[in-house]
Structure 1
Amino acid sequence: MNFRFQNLLGAPYRGGNTVISNNTLLVSPVGNRVSVTDLVKSQTITLPIQSSSNICRIAVSPDGTFLLTVDEKNRCLFINLRRRVVLHRISFKKPVNVVKFSPDGAFIAVGAGKLLQIWRSPGFRKEFFPFELVRTFADFDDNVTSLDWSPDSNYLIAGSKDFTARLLCLKKLGGGIKYKPFLFLGHRDSVIGAFFGINKITNRVCKSYTITRDCYVFSWTYKRDEVEADEIDGEVSEPPSPTTPDRGGDGKLESDANGIVKKRKNYGGKDGEVFEDGGYLCGGKWELSRKDSFMQAPAKLAACDYHRELDMVVVGFSNGVFGLYQMPDFVCIHLLSISREKITAAVFNDLGNWLSFGCAKLGQLLVWEWRSESYILKQQGHYFDVNCLAYSPDSQLLATGADDNKVKVWTVSSGFCFVTFSEHTNSVTALHFMASNNCLLSASLDGTVRAWDLFRYRNFRTFTTPSSRQFVSLTADQSGEVICAGTLDSFEIFVWSMRTGRLLDVLSGHEGPVHGLTFSPTNAILASSSWDKTVRLWDVFEGKGAVETFPHIHDVLTVVYRPDGRQLACSTLDGQIHFWDPIDGLLMFTIEGRRDISGGRLMTDRRSAANSSSGKCFTTLCYSADGSYILAGGSSRYICMYDVADQVLLRRFQITHNLSLDGVLDFLNSKNMTDAGPLDLIDDDNSDVEDATTEGVLVYSVDESFIFDPTDLDIDVTPEAVDAALSDGQPTRALILSLRLNEDTLIKKCIFAVSPVDLPAVASSIPYRYLQRLIEALADLLEGCPHLEFILKWSQELCKVQWEFYSTKLKKLASFFKIFAESNH
């Protein structure tokens, strides 16, 4: 029963901003979850953490350790990204439009409504008040839309919907000086991006850029006074003219003993206190050096990012076009169309060689290398809801079909879609993998059943009917010679030959849509379920028609055989699961599941969840491999697992806690109901919020891998103890300690610390329960480690250890049988 959430397929991105951490890890929100894609290993995982609603903003700490997520209900989670656990929680009072860690990781800037709040970043330690509000800037007249930190974490530049950007100083200046935020004016639309530019020699701010929604970029230059430039940059300049007196840092003029007016060198503090506190931006002036247009009207600018080292800007527009520009001369390097819809996320990686783009409406996630003009990652989820899925016989592939007329095939281990078939012209309703593992069948409402070659990625056969029909169910026999599909409109079952593609037979008899089809795993008997309240068995090869009929009181929604073919299970509209003996034609028993699957209330429901009949029936069933358990699911947030022999509910999985999805809440808030209908269903054309359409495909696993084994840990098992063992020349002890901690970096470090001469002794001393984890580490090293011979020697010694272990077990077993035989004799 130990099924746990493992990964999310079918939806790589669903809105919000994306972040590239440690130069290779792409972090993207998917509904109320977060996916992390390793761009080097080409693998994606989804964190086993859920927010209560769709995530709209994320931020990653500079060292890649912490992840901050904020959802649509303003609830924030502070997550340990490496351990995948939630450390702290907090709720903001206003909608959060932007959030960002400071470069030193000490602070978090949050744009909550019209306020810009600076919070002290929490750590690993459990605290009663982990978030400490350091400062609040309430200078904006509208929502804060963007922000950027200076390299020294002392200044922020923030853009707003009030057509302005402001330069803010985090620390208070010495000498009682009150710093007033500088305003960048002249914009005619909301400021989507505001960024600092630096002097690469001094690593201090010398310019800034503001990018507006109406496709303009403003370049601002910082002009410092001569004395300040002398002190900061170390440059020698001519003394100021005595006829043009300057103002001091505190706004006053100062004269020397000869009466000559001169400028104070220290702004507000003693002995350069202001400069130590980062006050070097308080005495100069900002000037607008140039204003450039991206020339994409009438499209609007939707996303942007700036890379300081390269001095480059990337922008994404509402028409699906993105541009890459070299600043400050505004030279267009690339201008390409990559999507049909608005680009909602655009970000550089740390090195600046990769660009990440997201399109929320289409579920697209792209990573593009602009120098070589090639894709590093190109993924797109289903546009509409997923209707059906099928595992390949070897469980390595997963196929999905949806209302967007597409069939996608995913690699389960990596989580990537490697092929998309789009030949169907209507919703895909059923999928079936052939036993050969290289052929996939799909049925659609467009009246066709198509066969796909997974080697050549093409549609090599199409099965049709004399007159157009809508197919809603599909199956094939064990040999793969016969293909059967059930219809929605004519209530018939069509039978084709896989080799020739010819229509062999039409099975008539049902009086309702045929929504369930399955072949017996032991013989050629076809079982079908229909809304006419019957389950029928057909002898397809003999052509005798229906050989058995099992009547029910309510509509039958689906039917499935037990793997041994000795039992048949079907679900009905009243929420019951009926189990039949297909040989004797007798009803064995019934499971009442109406209460188990009863879910939430839809926004459009006029009845309460308790009185509504929607979502209280199972639409799909699946036996376990040994036939002892059965999984049942339907239009509900619950999946039920039953013990077939005892007819009891073993476990109920709640597949989502996302309150942004319709039908999750049991009770609706009357405040959200208006005269025009539910407030959430009213379209707002001017809104920038992107709605998530689907959660994708949730994959659960019984993988017993662990982060650490608490029963095998004590106070002495620490990374420091591993380093101490290595320094003392005890590689065996160090390796066992690292395996107990299950830290991948420590395990690999200890593997290379073992001398080749000591390999046999070290390998034989590894406890058996840690062998699998050690083998996994060696397999991972084989992919990119140059020391191939050393890893192979490790593998050889471990194989010897495995052989000795099992041979000892076999010898003990043989001696036991020998003693048992002699005693019986």
Structure 2
Amino acid sequence: MNYRFHNLLGAPYRGGNAVMVDDNLVSPVGNRVSVTDLKRSETVTLPCQTSANIRRLAASPDGVFLLAIDDNNRCLFINLRRRVVLHRISFKHPVATAKFSPDGKFIAVAAGKLLQIWRSPGFRKEFFPFELIRTFADCNDKITALEWSPDSNYILVGSKDLAVRLFSMKKRKDNRKTFKFLGHRDTIVGCFFGIDHRTKKVTNVYTVSRDGALLRWGYSGDYNNIIGDQLHNSEPESPGTPDQGVEPNGEGDITQTMLKKRKDFDGKDEILGEGNEVLLDNLKWELLKKDYFMQAPAKLTACDYHQGRDMLLVAFSNGVFGLYQLPNFVCSQMLSISREKITTAIFNDRGDWLVFGCAKLSQLSVWAFESDTYILKQQGHYFDVNCIAYSPDSQFLATGADDHKVKVWNVSMGFCFYTSSVHTDAVTALHFMANNHCLLSASLDGTVRALDFFRYRNFRTFTTPTSKQFVSLAADQSGEVICAGTLDSFEIYVWSMKTGRLLDVLSGHEGPVHGLMFSPTTGVLSSSSWDKTVRLWDVFEGKGAVETFAHTHDVLTVVYRPDGKQLACSTLDGSIHFWDPFEGLLMHTIEGRRDIAGGRLMTDRRSAANSTIGKYFTTLCYSADGSYILAGGNSKYICMYDIADQVLLRRFQITHNLSLDGVLDFLNSKNMTEAGPIDLIDDDNSDAEEGVERQTQGKLAYDLPGSMPNRGRPVIRTKCLRIAPTGRTWAAATTEGVLIYSMDDSFIFDPTDLDIDVTPEAVNAALDENQPKRALILSLRLNEDVLIKKCVLSVNPAEISSVASSVPFIYIQRLFETLSDLSENCPHVEFILRWCQELCKVHGPSIHQNNRNLLPALKSLQKAITRLHQDLADMCSSNENTLRYFCLVSSKR
């Protein structure tokens, strides 16, 4: 019951800009924020959501706060380290870009044509956390780029009116016009301050436009010479202070000695500001140089400037990026990393890594240009994920989608480490074999392929005499027989895994076979079809269909309970039917139409309450112990039902993203025009940032009878549900990607046998008195995770056997769960393994008799031990190679 959102897989990047915070890469994924730790090679997704797809991210200089602005102009102010939302604000205009000032005190927001300066809120709880300090309204078109000066006193702003303006944070007494940098012929993409590394002062301004032009601006020599002459003629403030002039080229910095006094030129141009500083908006700037990147007809889409290295990074719509050394405009590197538009390109803080994002390919990569290596390269699926499958040890998750690809993800790390492109059409079904490294995949291209993702190869292909379209897949427990159901011929094909030979063709269905599964305990195969039947087949005896379960509506999917004693199937009327496969009797029926009913589509002519579209379950999944079932479909909800009582336990809303269709229950009539909904009117322009292509269905447009196409926004729905064999996590293949939900025990207090004497104080007192047996039993009765771990770790290794024998069998499951958690986070490997060994010795017969209830906990323990074994094996192999190298070097000497 206590599941909560944990991570998002299958879509590393969907558009917007990425930011670097220390060695963490922060990137938007739809309406969520993903944080990738590049040192530990782990990625997590923040639990908070915005109301629509995130358009812009901005991080504070100290890396504590994060600003996330979505397409609805709503902003979240997030504590990045605590992963909580501190404040919220809504802007009145579309926000193109936003940045924190270098001192972290202010936030510059480009809201349409306006440049707004807000005071940055902190940890304090305030009624008005955001305070608007100033508003600049000098731009004639939408702002597209902005940059702060290092001292946070000036802001460069570029807009679509082809001009870059220099604004000062200090209010002036005179009504001086804002200085403009003119000369570009296309939209401004970036504008940056050039810094003199010796004096740390602004010396240049760089402006970059979409047509690939780079303009370099500098101080006018006349102003510097006039200031220098007047300072030379004035008396020094103290004896012995030498006068210093300006560098001969007129582009140097005005030193502090020259700025001792405040000077006026003709009583009008105020050159020096308070505190002996140069007022940049009073200086006369001139164009020093104009360069071109020569990538036409490609457009420049993203750029970034690193002040420390004085390097400019530019990216283009043809997938090419360039790295240039300024101010000499020397190309250091020019590479092509994609065939599609690069939507974001930034430096890290040190300037040795380059971060690129391609929204159309859902690709995110980090490139170390000094060593010419990838630090990170992750690419998601182009279209919706159709099917997912957990490995037997729950370490890996496989995904298949309409882009013809199969990907295998490490669930703990959140990274994809294997991608297969052997299919030529949409992947529709996946199945992990018992050996944990063999994966079966079925596709509409008429093939079933066996993939070995340890050796990265397709070692067997199963085909039919004539081309078919496979939409379901199953394998028996021994892994000797492979079965696949078809979409077009309504048949089930049976192959031998060892030889790849076609053994049999099962006929009898009169509709597409969308559900296929072997019984976990017997060799009986169950299949569901749109012909309103569920059939049981004896594949090994070759008797054909042994029993048929008839329904009044189309059957969409079928699953077995883990013990094989129950069969569940969903029908088009929104019901879930539970059958006894041995007696052939209907056990239970759950009516789920009201529970699964989702929001209203933009094309719907009826309200959500009166519409029949989407009120059925297309995917089912039993829990690890078989006590409850998860159900999902063409809706924003995933339902969890208790099977014994036939009641709804919990309903998960998979997203609150209003950029998707079907999230709202009621539509706003203001968005309806004579030509139809506003969102369906194609008014996109070429300047808009490209994200995921507008699509609601991939090649599987046949999904269900009565489903209506939507040519606007993607429709929210769940295509596949799977629970990990450990029972601790479950995954849902949705429109936004693969959502991972994990069990959270940190906020749940569920005592096993509570008494007035069972308290944390009693546990600590028993530990102080050196009574580990009593302390452990008291902590297990209290069911407090921290206390249980403390008691387990406090046991003397020599006393593990006696303490394990004193634990009642009722607490064994809880103890196994604690040991599996310790195995993943505790360095005492041998100590934990000895605990597991003694528990299995003492309670072996009881564990064998109650294997169904203990199966999730034992699977979790197996997963943790397997991961430990792999890590130790890699470490030993590395150490062995290192020692061999040292021995070889010493022998040569």
**Short-chain TM bin:** 0.7 to 0.9
- How far apart are the structure 1 equivalents of 2:465 and 2:608? 44
Residue 702 of structure 1, CA deviation = 0.4
> What's the CA shift for 1:512?
0.5
CA contact (8 A) 1:225 1:283 kept: no
Kept in 2: contact 1:227–1:265 (CA 8 A): no
Deviation at 1:609, TM superposition (A): 1.6
Distance 2:460 2:126 in 1: 63
Check if 1:696 corresponds to 2:737.
Answer: yes
What is the identity, as a one-letter code, of the residue corresponding to 1:329?
Answer: N
With the length of structure 1 as denominator, give the TM-score of the two structures. Answer: 0.82
Alpha carbons 2:271, 2:278 under 8 Å: kept: no
Structure 2 residue matching 1:225: 3-state secondary structure: helix
Within 2, Cα distance between the matches of 1:280 and 1:138? 21
In the other structure, the counterpart of 1:686 is: 686
CA distance in 2, matches of 1:413, 1:40: 15
Match of residue 66 from structure 2: 67
Paired residue for 2:213, among 189, 213, 216? 216
- Once the two structures are overlaid, the 10-residue window that deviates more, 457-466 or 218-227, is 218-227
1:183 maps onto 2:180 in alignment: yes
* Distance (whole Å) between structure 1 residues aligned to residue 120 and residue 583 of structure 2: 68
Residues 639/297 of structure 1: CA separation in 2 closer, same or farther (3 Å cut): same
Structure 1 residues 707 and 128, CA gap change in structure 2 (3 angstroms): farther
Q: 3-state SS of the aligned residue for 1:680?
A: helix
Partner of 1:35: 34
Are the aligned partners of 1:31 and 1:692 in contact in 2 as well (CA < 8 Å)? Answer: no
How is 1:118-137 mapped onto 2 (pairs within 5 angstroms)? 118-137=117-136
Does residue 1:237 correspond to 2:234, yes or no?
no
2:381 paired residue number: 382
How far does residue 689 in structure 1 lie from its aligned partner after superposition? 3.2
Q: CA deviation at 1:679?
A: 2.6
Cα distance in 2 for partners of 1:497, 1:678 equals 53
**Paired position in structure 1 for 2:712:** none
Mapped contact 2:359–2:690 kept (Cα < 8 A): yes
Report if the CA contact (8 A) 2:212-2:292 is conserved. Answer: yes
Residue 670 (structure 1) shift: 3.3
Partner in structure 1 of residue 777 of structure 2: none
CA distance in 2, matches of 1:186, 1:47: 43
1:228–1:265 CA contact under 8 A, matched in 2: no
Q: Is the 8 A contact 1:172 1:178 kept in 2?
A: no
Query: Which structure 2 residues correspond to residues 497-516 of structure 1 after superposition, within 5 A?
Result: 497-516=496-515
Q: Is the 8 A contact 2:518 2:524 kept in 1?
A: yes
The letter of the residue matching 1:616 is K
The corresponding residue for 2:671 is 672
**Residue identity in the other structure for 2:162:** F
Secondary structure in structure 2 of the residue aligned to 1:335? strand
Cross-structure match for 2:886: none
Match of 2:4 in 1: 4
Aligned residue number for residue 19 of structure 2: 19
Give the corresponding residue for 1:201.
198
Q: Deviations over 1:259-298 (max 9, x none)?
A: xxxx999846xxxx253xx553244221111000110111
Kindly report which structure 2 residues correspond to 1:324-723, keeping only aligned pairs within 5 A, or say none: 324-683=323-682, 684-692=684-692, 694-705=735-746
CA contact (8 A) 1:443 1:474 kept: yes
SS at match of 2:552: coil
- Give the residue type in structure 1 aligned to 2:214: V
Q: Is the 8 A contact 2:265 2:271 kept in 1?
A: no
The answer for the alignment partner of 2:882 in structure 1 is none
1:377 counterpart SS class = strand
* SS of aligned partner of 2:595: helix
Matched, 1:96 2:95: yes
Query: Following the alignment from structure 2 to structure 1, what is the Cα–Cα distance between the partners of residues 643 and 182?
Result: 71
CA distance in 2, matches of 1:382, 1:221: 46
RMSD: 3.5
Compute the displacement of 1:677 (Å): 3.9
- Counterpart mapping for 1:307-326 below 5 A: 307-326=306-325
CA distance in 2 between partners of 1:77 and 1:207 (Å): 34
Equivalent pairs counted in the alignment come to 724
Contact 1:616 1:635 (8 Å CA) reproduced:
yes
1:686 aligned partner, one-letter code: S
Offset at 1:522?
0.7
Residue 253 in structure 1 maps to residue 250 in structure 2:
no
How has the CA–CA distance of structure 1 residues 239 and 609 changed in structure 2, closer, same or farther, with 3 Å as cutoff? closer
Q: 1:560 to 1:38 in 2, by over 3 A?
A: same
Distance between the aligned counterparts of 2:82 and 2:345, measured in 1? 27
TM-score by length of 2: 0.76
Where 2:383 maps in the other structure, the secondary structure is coil
Structure 1 residues 68-77 or 669-678, which shifts more? 669-678
Q: Distance in 2 between matches of 1:402 and 1:620?
A: 16
What SS does the aligned partner of 1:86 have? strand
CA distance in 2, matches of 1:119, 1:249: 31
The match for 1:148 is 147
Q: 1:708-727 CA distances to partner (integer Å, 9 max, x unpaired)? A: 9xxxxxxxxxxxxxxxxxxx
Give the gaps of 5 or more residues in structure 1.
241-247, 255-262, 709-739, 743-768, 783-791, 811-825
Task: State the Cα distance separating 1:800 from its structure 2 match.
Answer: 13
Matched position secondary structure for 1:35: strand
Superposed CA deviations along residues 89-124 of structure 1, whole A, max 9, x for unmatched, are 000000000000011111100000000111010001
Equivalent-residue separation in structure 1 for 2:136 and 2:673 (angstroms): 35
- C-alpha distance in structure 2 between counterparts of 1:779 and 1:527, whole Å: 37
Opposite residue 244 of structure 2, the aligned amino acid is V
Q: Displacement of 1:778 after TM fit?
A: 11
How far the C-alpha of 1:13 sits from its partner, in A, is 0.5
Aligned partner letter, 2:290: K
Q: Is the contact made by 1:475 and 1:517 (CA closer than 8 Å) also made in structure 2?
A: yes
Structure 2 CA distance for aligned equivalents of residues 570 and 800 of structure 1:
41
Cα displacement string for residues 316-338 of structure 1 (whole angstroms, at most 9, x for unaligned residues)? 11111111111111111111111
1:462 counterpart letter in structure 2: T
Q: Following superposition of structure 1 onto structure 2, how do residues 800-819 of structure 1 map, counting pairs within 5 Å?
A: none
Partner of 1:761: none
Identical residues among aligned pairs (%)? 70
Contact 1:209 1:217 in 2 (8 A): yes
Q: What SS does the aligned partner of 1:122 have?
A: coil
Deviation at 1:667, TM superposition (A): 2.2
Shift of 1:172: 2.4
What secondary structure sits across from 2:371 in the alignment?
Answer: coil
The question of whether the paired residues in 2 share the 8 Å contact of 1:538 and 1:548 is answered with yes
CA deviation string 1:413-467 (max 9, x = no partner): 1111111111111111111001111100111111111110111111111111111
- Give the letter aligned to residue 178 of structure 2: P
Letter in 1 for 2:622: Y
Question: Does structure 2 retain, via aligned residues, the 8 Å contact 1:401–1:407?
Answer: yes
Structure 1, 668-677 or 447-456: larger mean CA deviation: 668-677
Counterpart amino acid of residue 427 in structure 2: V
Structure 1 residues 251 and 590: CA distance shift in structure 2, 3 A: same
Using the TM superposition, give the Cα deviation of residue 707 of structure 1 relative to its aligned residue in structure 2, in angstroms. Answer: 14
Give secondary structure in 2 for the equivalent of 1:512: coil
Q: SS of the residue aligned with 1:671? A: helix
- Partner residue in 2 for 1:748: none
Distance in structure 2 (CA, Å) of the matches to 1:662 and 1:207: 48
Residue identity in the other structure for 1:476? A
